[in-house]
Structure 1
Amino acid sequence: MRISDTDILIIPGYSNSGPEHWQTRWEEKIRTARRVEQEDWERPEVETWAARIIEAVEAAERPVVLIAHSAGVAAVAHAAARHPLDKVKGAFLVGLPDVEADEKVPEAVKVFSPLPTDPLPFPSMMIASEDDPYCRRVRAEDFAAAWGSDFYSAGTAGHFNTESGHGPWPEGLMMFARFMQRLPAR
């Protein structure tokens, strides 16, 4: 599937993605990308965040591919569990926080617990890190298996945010391009 034939929805996590974050940079670089805005980035609500994703998918005019980071990944899982998201052709999921088990996860993000464990109704790829402070790799791998997601360990990459050195993140963009190539056209 070609990026130019899709609506790319960027789904940031807790506190949104700042100007140097890879999601913001990709949004600026990919002509068909737009951010799913949330009402309150500091106090997520599961129903509200999931509803915003569903609204954005329904408003899209072409097939949709989701690019989610951190709590945005949890929001995608909840949205998929509540609505089939028929127009979604794939999801690129990066840096899932373990909202159920990790004490370092901000309290505001724990509202996403428990995470759904039903398979996602679209192809997906989960990218995790060996040293993510918010999720052990094995937990990310467990959720990837439950969701039917392809799993990729990016080595020691922290939480895939600007603090861990992921500004433009060209390696991630290459992984995303390969993921897109594997998606069926239309």
Structure 2
Amino acid sequence: MSADDPAFLIVPGLGDSGPGHWQSLWAGRGPAFRRLHQRDWNAPGPDWIAALDAELRRRPVPTVLVAHSLGCTTVAAWAQAHDPGDVVGALLVAPPDTPRVERLGGTSLAPLPFPSVVVASSDDPCCRLERARQFAHHWGARFVDLGPCGHINVASGFGAWPAGERLLAGLVRRARRVREPARAR
């Protein structure tokens, strides 16, 4: 890993991501990956946003957020209320549109202040495809429709998810291009 490589912060959703989930598999890939921990993975609320902020302040290095489900809602709420600091990008997979998002203050539709990609499925039981596309539009994110893939988790057949790794690598390249002019000043 070079000095230009960002760190990755895994931001799980409701119930955390179990051992076979692509987020958990990616988190085990080495020191560049770390995982956000919540006090109670079954009770989303303002403390989830506070935990994300605290973790980012604990390690102030260029970071790409890798969120799934309610983790996406957490990232959007955090970005609306906090200085993005060292966050250089976000991969937002399967953002939900369920009553549980209200526990996080609803889904922020404010533009994200860093490059981002929203990945959604045409048959996600937690969010209609068109709604996920609206989230991407409002957040200023690139939108990727995976087709019929459920909630993009273990239950829908996702393990290591190499295609997701390619999306993450593309996001990192985009984040570098955005950062280069800022560092040259």
Is it true that 1:12 corresponds to 2:4 in the alignment?
Answer: no
Find the counterpart in structure 2 of residue 182 from structure 1: 174
TM-score normalised by length of structure 1: 0.89
Per-residue CA deviations over 1:78-122 (Å, capped at 9, x if unaligned) read 1111102221000000000113xxxxxxx5554135211110111
> Counterpart of 1:81 in 2: which secondary structure?
helix
1:184 Cα deviation after fit: 2.1
> Counterpart amino acid of 2:87?
V
Q: Do the aligned partners of residues 42 and 19 (structure 1) sit closer, same or farther apart at CA in structure 2, a change above 3 Å counting?
A: same
- Mapped contact 2:38–2:48 kept (Cα < 8 A): yes
> Is 1:124 aligned to residue 123 of structure 2?
no
Aligned-pair distance for 1:5? 2.2
Let me know the Cα RMSD of the aligned residues.
1.9
Q: Percent identity?
A: 41
Conserved in 2, the CA contact under 8 Å of 1:7 and 1:60?
Answer: no
Q: Which residue of 2 aligns with 1:150?
A: 142
Query: Structure 1 pair 43/178, CA: closer, same or farther in 2 (3 Å)?
Result: same
8 Å contact from structure 1 (residues 90, 123) kept in 2: yes
What is the distance in 2 between the residues matched to 1:179 and 1:116?
Answer: 21
Unmatched segments (≥5 aa) in structure 2: 180-185
| TM-score where L is the length of structure 2 | 0.90
The aligned residue for residue 28 of structure 1 is: 28
Q: Residue 62 of structure 1 corresponds to which residue in structure 2?
A: 61
Alpha carbons 1:7, 1:61 under 8 Å: kept: no
Residue 167 of structure 1 and its aligned partner are, at CA, apart by 1.1
Distance 2:3 2:68 in 1: 19
Matched ranges for 1:92-131 at <5 A? 92-99=91-98, 108-131=100-123
Conserved 8 A contact 2:77-2:105: no
- The alignment status of 1:79 with 2:71, answered yes or no, reads no
Maintained 8 Å contact 1:80/1:121: yes
- 3-state SS of 2:34 partner: strand
Deviations 1:10-55 (A, max 9, x none): 000000000000000001124311111001001111x101111111
Alpha-carbon spacing, 1:139–1:82, altered in 2? closer, same or farther (3 Å): same
- Asked if 1 retains the 8 angstrom alpha-carbon contact of 2:101 and 2:107, the reply is no
Output the CA distance in 1 between the equivalents of 2:164 and 2:150: 13
The alignment covers a number of residue pairs equal to 178
